[in-house]
Amino acid sequence: ASGPAASGIQDIAFATGHYSFDLAHLAEKQGIDVNKYYIGIGQEKMSLPAEDEDIVTMGAAAAQRIIDRNGTDGIRTLLFATESGIDQSKSAGVYVHGLLDLPREVRTIETKMACYGGIGALQMALGIVARNPEEKVLVIAADVARYDLETSGEPTQGAAAVAFLVQADPDILAIEPAQGVYTLDVQDFWRPNYRNTALVDGKFSVGAYLDALVGAWHDYRAHGGVDFDDIDWFCYHQPFTKMAVKAHVRLTEEAGTPLEKADAAAALAPTFGYNQQLGNSYTASIFLGFLALLDSDQEIPGERVGFFSYGSGAVSEFFVGVIQPGYRDHLRVQEHLGILDAREPIGYDQYRALHPGTFVEAQENFTTERRTRSPFRFEGVEEGSRLY
């Protein structure tokens, strides 16, 4: 007897902030060799939102394109994953619901677990579709990654949103049921409510990521996951692209077929294109790795992609999806390259002026200046309410 129809990703798109900042400007200011960033951590640029952009405007811009192509039929759930929440109570997804004028008959929720929140939302979406294959779930993962100035995390800031549609019998990626999960309470990266910027124990966080990878991998194998050799591509959470290289070296050691750094980097290179230019986008980062692979010149129908998501704190997961035949007809390559190119490059002083500082300041009323080219704009705050 045949099982339930496979479900997974039908369509996927990204959006980002208005500005791009080349790490060469940061290195110059710091008086260090830019290759520490370009080569050492594998990052070239970061995206920065304008004053009138945030997770809602980026998330809505990405989701609008999914709705324009697919309509709203069958969508009864909107999941918004973020760790840069704009309200302690109301889901950012409800603002997007309003901006996109989605049907009222939709449940809308925000999910949070550091960078893992997006994959957590994907797994919840798959559960909803498994219960009723007529339903579709719109998932948005959006974040602005901010660290304090002059800290180790500073070159790994960034901003982006990814939106995707989860449904039965998808055209891009069918997700296999085996999952490997791993949670351990560690204090490697966190952001208390009174701060705009995250606190991080950088070197410790790298080790925590690698330990979580090993834990999730073994759990994946213990729960019916395929052999390492049966996975064609690996798509890791990329806080900086070099992190994925370290992870792949570690995983190949664990699988008994160790790769040198250079070979691991070559194997993963097609997943790096977007994150190298956007910086860390927390919940969106792993999906941008996947989008880079889809939009690359690799022809990969029928091939298996292994996904590893890591959210500091820490929750992680390993699972696999199969690229569907004809997937290329459903991509948005030119649209995505256009979004990268449309960003306005800025120098160090403007970057510095855009940085919000460490602490959240109470501001019940203010208006923003118009900058964004996005169809959606954050206008400011009136009596404590955010206006778009």
Judged by CB under 6 A, which of 83, 110, 219, 295 binds ligand HMG? 83
Please report, for residues 17, 62, 64, 371, the alpha-carbon distance to residue 376 in angstroms, rounded to integers and kept in the order given.
12, 11, 10, 11
The CA distance from 3 to 8, in Å, is 15
The CA distance from 227 to 258, in Å, is 15
Q: 327 labelled as ligand-binding?
A: no
Stretch that binds ligand HMG, among 30-38, 222-230, 299-307, 376-384 (CB under 6 A): 30-38
Side-chain half-sphere of 56: how many Cα atoms within 13 Å?
Answer: 24
Structure tokens that stand for 356 in this block: 């919000």
The residue number with the shortest CB distance to ligand HMG is 40
Judged by CB under 6 A, which of 215, 239, 279, 306 binds ligand HMG? 239
Residue 357's φ and ψ, nearest 5 degrees, are: 80, 175
Catalytic residue among 237, 248, 317, 336: 237
**Contact between 183 and ligand HMG per CB under 6 A:** no
Name the residue nearer to ligand HMG (CB basis): 32 or 222.
Answer: 32
Q: 101 labelled as ligand-binding?
A: no
Rounded to a whole number of angstroms, the minimum distance from the CB of residue 153 to ligand HMG is 4
Catalytic residue among 115, 135, 235, 317: 115
Q: Is 97 a catalytic residue?
A: no
Beta-bridge partners for 183: 315
Judged by CB under 6 A, which of 30, 70, 72, 152 binds ligand HMG? 152
Beta-bridge partners for 337: none
**Contact between 308 and ligand HMG per CB under 6 A:** no
Q: 54 labelled as ligand-binding?
A: no
The CA distance from 64 to 80, in Å, is 14
Report whether 306 contacts 320 (CB < 8 A): yes
Stretch that binds ligand HMG, among 51-59, 62-70, 235-243, 373-381 (CB under 6 A): 235-243
Best CA proximity match to 108, nearest among 81, 126, 73, 74: 81
Judged by CB under 6 A, which of 14, 21, 189, 319 binds ligand HMG? 189
Stretch that binds ligand HMG, among 48-56, 152-160, 177-185, 214-222 (CB under 6 A): 152-160
User: Going residue by residue from 244 to 283, which x/- string records binding to ligand HMG, judged by CB under 6 A?
Assistant: ------------------------------------x-x-
The CA distance from 201 to 85, in Å, is 22
Beta-bridge partners for 140: 80, 163
* Element of type H or E holding 60: helix 55-70
**Contact between 35 and ligand HMG per CB under 6 A:** yes
Collapsing DSSP to helix, strand or coil, 87 comes out as: coil
Stretch that binds ligand HMG, among 15-23, 222-230, 239-247, 333-341 (CB under 6 A): 239-247
Beta-bridge partners for 374: none
Name the residue nearer to ligand HMG (CB basis): 206 or 226.
Answer: 206
The CA distance from 117 to 123, in Å, is 10
Q: Render the burial of 275-297: b for 16+ CB within 10 Å, e for the rest.
A: bbbbbbbbbbbbbbbbbbbbbee
**Contact between 39 and ligand HMG per CB under 6 A:** yes
Binding site for (3S)-3-hydroxy-3-methylglutaryl-CoA: residue ranges? Answer: 33, 147, 246, 280
Q: Which residues are catalytic?
A: 83, 115, 237
Binding site: residue ranges? Answer: 33, 147, 246, 280
Task: Give the residues lining the site for ligand HMG (CB under 6 A).
Answer: 33, 35-36, 39-41, 83, 114-115, 152-153, 156, 189, 200, 202-203, 205-206, 209, 237, 239-240, 243, 280, 282, 310-312
